[in-house]
Amino acid sequence: MTMHREPGGERYYYTWAWFEGPDDAAWRVTGHHTDSGEQYRLDWNLAERSLCVTDSLGRTRCHWWDAQGLVTAYRDEAGQMTTFRWSDEERLLLGMTDAQGGKWRYVYDRLGHLTETHDPLGRVEQTQWHPVWHQPETEVDAAGAAWRYEYDERGNLQAVIDPLHQRTVYGYDRHGQVVRITDARGGDKYLQWNEDGQLMRHTDCSGSQTAWFYDERTRLERVTDAESNSTRYSYDGNGHLTEVMFADGRTERYQPDAAGRLVKYTSPAGQITRWQRDGQGRVRRQTDATGRRTAYEYDAYGRLTTLTNENGESYRFRYDVLDRVTEQTDPGGSRRVYGYNALNAVTAVIYGGERGGEIRHGLERDAAGRLTAKITPETRTKYRYDAADRLLEIRRRQHDAAEGGEPEVIRFSYDSAGNLLSEETAQGVLQHRYDVQGNRTETQMPDGRTLRYLYYGSGHLQQINLGRDVISEFTRDHLHREVQRSQGRLDTRRMYDRTGRLTRKLTCKGMRGVVPETFIDREYAYSGQDELLKKRHSRQGVTDYFYDTTGRITACRNEAYLDSWQYDAAANLLDRRQGETAQAGAGSVVPFNRITSYRGLHYRYDEYGRVVEKRGRNGTQHYRWDAEHRLTEVAVIRGSTVRRYGYVYDAPGRRVEKHELDAEGKPYNRTTFLW
């Protein structure tokens, strides 16, 4: 074969030459190129048993193999080597040295089953095999937790026993298809199959059924849920999906090209989105229902190099010789630069500002690729794991902390199945318990109080308690959607349409005789595109919502309120209302997706794109950010009055405190958060 053409039109060409070597003689490909510009030269050295492939960018990768054709070494385009060691007779992989120098070792039993894997950290994972069925009988992870498997007389998996000795049991029909699954709690799920081995019916442990129907070509034709709502599917002669009809009759339409790739989508409301593709199927242009376009450019090797938004502004991407993104630049000129190690894990992120500033994040990793330290201009954070890669400890220290100062420490513990049992922070210890299905049933807070969760079926929340007090109870329909919730004297009921959209939410308090006393009644109506069109509120009246053809809200109206919005092509809010024309000096494009003026408010940004000032009639607010782009301080200025607020985050990035700051910068009026 010297050429083949894909359905999209792209042609692939090959050149050949005859080679004779110590192991064989054959025709081999020596060159390959495509219509889109990919080019490869293949250099064979059969005496050395090697092949080097060089592309038009000058990148070269090489493979070496032994007399049995097994790869013994690989050198990538960056010059990094990976080597492989094989057994002489069984041709089993015994060891590998990765590109970072980490050594892997593999051990087998006499039948060739992999029994041990030793990683570069010295951890060992073990597998014992069934002597008859040659299936795993016991798997032990590096932390010593064991999963056990039992089989029936036909070799079907009959039971799985997890490290907590909880059993999941499987039953089969005469064709070897699973027809019953019994979970660790004793709940049964049932599955029914057709003669083609396709799932026809699923009955969960609560008795709710979902049914699947297929056409004569075994294509999915209809799905009927437990509330008897059906979704239907249609196809063209090539088996490509062309229509989806929802239970309420709304229809989505899809148009594929000759290769089956989506090129046109028509929403239930008739709005059309189009995709223009190149010969290799890559999206070159997306055009929405209003004609707005997003464009994509690629290099000859399929890497995205430029993304141009609807405003004509471009995001640019650069890559290294291993096709890893090394730099992305936004339309305003700010950059993000990435560094990698030999195992392709990110080791550095540099945030480059528009005026030349830089914020550097360093990421240190161990031989298994786990993050062990994160260094920013302000902090150094260390991470410690157990043998099963579960995070045990986070330890963060400020660079400017006093010598000998205590670092922030967060500790975690787990059971042998990997469920989080405790989290210890400066705010105290959270402790958790679980049922046999892994659902969290209790959380004990640092003050000793306990939140309890009750479930039904396979894990659907039914009740929340705090101590002995019921906070909330839930009732669900056959699809396990919430249809009723009690909170003290309040009782809220939810109703849905046939496609799952919320249509009514009725909140009552107490009873008036035998009739619930309505507190708030809300009804909702939607468009064909699932947009909220109307909300009827028993106290606030009727609110109408209006949208453009691509789903952007353009107006909101009720008895006491009317507002409208306009957008630029890239969906940024413009400083005028719907129907208004641009005033002198006001543009129809928000540069770089940064709003600088909107309805009397004026915004200023730093070189990294973060808001640092908001000015308006009622005063000015100044914002400060840390090196991880988290808001740390807000100064609110009204006339001669200045109030300052601070925000504190823990090592994982969760906000754990907000406070006010006095004139000397000392915090008071603290509010703390426990996660």
Examine residue 332 and state whether it is found in any structural domain, yes or no. no
pLDDT of 8 = 82
Query: Using an 8 Å Cβ cutoff, are 509 and 515 in contact?
Result: no
Question: What's the structural domain count of the chain?
Answer: 2
Which residue range forms the structural domain that includes residue 615?
610-675
Reduced DSSP (H G I as helix, E B as strand, rest coil) percent helix, strand, coil of the chain, to 5: 0, 55, 45
- Work out the percent of the chain whose per-residue pLDDT is above 90: 91
Examine residue 639 and state whether it is found in any structural domain, yes or no. yes
Query: What pTM was estimated for this model as a whole?
Result: 0.92
Question: Which of 46, 75, 104 is at the close of a domain?
Answer: 75
Confidence grade of residue 6 (pLDDT, cut at 50, 70, 90): confident
Examine residue 664 and state whether it is found in any structural domain, yes or no. yes
pLDDT of 582 = 55
Q: Which residues pair with 299 in a beta bridge?
A: none
Question: Which of 51, 75, 99 is at the close of a domain?
Answer: 75
Confidence grade of residue 585 (pLDDT, cut at 50, 70, 90): very low
Could you report the per-residue pLDDT of 612-671, keeping only the tens digit for each?
999 999 999 999 999 999 999 999 999 999 999 999 999 999 999 999 999 999 999 999
Give backbone dihedrals phi and psi of 592, rounded to 5 degrees, phi first. Answer: 60, 20
Q: 262 or 401: whose pLDDT is higher?
A: 262
What is the Cα–Cα distance from 197 to 189, expressed in whole angstroms?
Answer: 18
Tell me the mean pLDDT in the region 92-113. 98
Task: Show the tokens assigned to 636.
Answer: 């609110």
Amino acid sitting at position 501: R
Please provide the distance, in angstroms rounded to a whole number, between the alpha carbons at the two ends of the chain.
62
What is the Cα–Cα distance from 350 to 608, expressed in whole angstroms?
Answer: 11
- Strands of 240-345, DSSP E: 241-245, 251-256, 262-266, 272-277, 283-287, 293-298, 304-308, 314-319, 325-329, 335-340
Task: Show the tokens assigned to 480.
Answer: 């396990």
Could you report the per-residue pLDDT of 42-62, keeping only the tens digit for each?
999 999 999 999 999 999 999
Could you report the per-residue pLDDT of 333-363, keeping only the tens digit for each?
999 999 999 999 999 999 999 999 999 999 9
With 60 as the cut, is the pLDDT of residue 170 above it? yes
Task: Show the tokens assigned to 445.
Answer: 């807070």
What is the Cα–Cα distance from 461 to 485, expressed in whole angstroms?
Answer: 11
Amino acid sitting at position 447: D
- Work out the percent of the chain whose per-residue pLDDT is above 70: 97
Examine residue 636 and state whether it is found in any structural domain, yes or no. yes
Query: DSSP assignment of 408-435, as one string?
Result: EEEEEEE-TT--EEEEEETTEEEEEEE-
Tell me the mean pLDDT in the region 377-383. 97
With 70 as the cut, is the pLDDT of residue 536 above it? yes
Going from the C-alpha of 566 to that of each of 552, 559, 574, the distances in angstroms are: 9, 22, 5
Q: 89 or 304: whose pLDDT is higher?
A: 304
pLDDT of 633 = 98
pLDDT of 102 = 98
Mean pLDDT lowest among 188-197, 291-300, 407-416, 512-521? 512-521
Confidence grade of residue 227 (pLDDT, cut at 50, 70, 90): very high
Examine residue 221 and state whether it is found in any structural domain, yes or no. no
pLDDT of 587 = 66
Confidence grade of residue 365 (pLDDT, cut at 50, 70, 90): very high
Could you report the per-residue pLDDT of 444-500, keeping only the tens digit for each?
999 999 999 999 988 999 999 998 899 999 999 999 999 999 998 899 999 999 999
What is the Cα–Cα distance from 675 to 673, expressed in whole angstroms?
Answer: 6
Question: Which of 56, 75, 94 is at the close of a domain?
Answer: 75
With 60 as the cut, is the pLDDT of residue 395 above it? yes
With 80 as the cut, is the pLDDT of residue 586 above it? no
Q: What mean pLDDT is reported for the chain?
A: 95
Closest Cα partner for 501 from 208, 250, 206? 250
pLDDT of 7 = 85
Examine residue 655 and state whether it is found in any structural domain, yes or no. yes
Tell me the mean pLDDT in the region 369-389. 98
Amino acid sitting at position 18: W
Query: Using an 8 Å Cβ cutoff, are 383 and 363 in contact?
Result: no
With 80 as the cut, is the pLDDT of residue 403 above it? no
Could you report the per-residue pLDDT of 14-39, keeping only the tens digit for each?
999 999 988 889 999 999 999 989 99
- Strands of 459-540, DSSP E: 460-466, 469-476, 482-487, 490-496, 502-512, 515-526, 532-537
What is the Cα–Cα distance from 563 to 349, expressed in whole angstroms?
Answer: 42
Which residues does 291 contact at the CB level (< 8 Å), separation at least 6? none
Tell me the mean pLDDT in the region 161-177. 97
Q: 71 or 400: whose pLDDT is higher?
A: 71
Q: Which residues pair with 149 in a beta bridge?
A: 160
Confidence grade of residue 584 (pLDDT, cut at 50, 70, 90): very low
Examine residue 49 and state whether it is found in any structural domain, yes or no. yes
Q: Which residues pair with 93 in a beta bridge?
A: 86
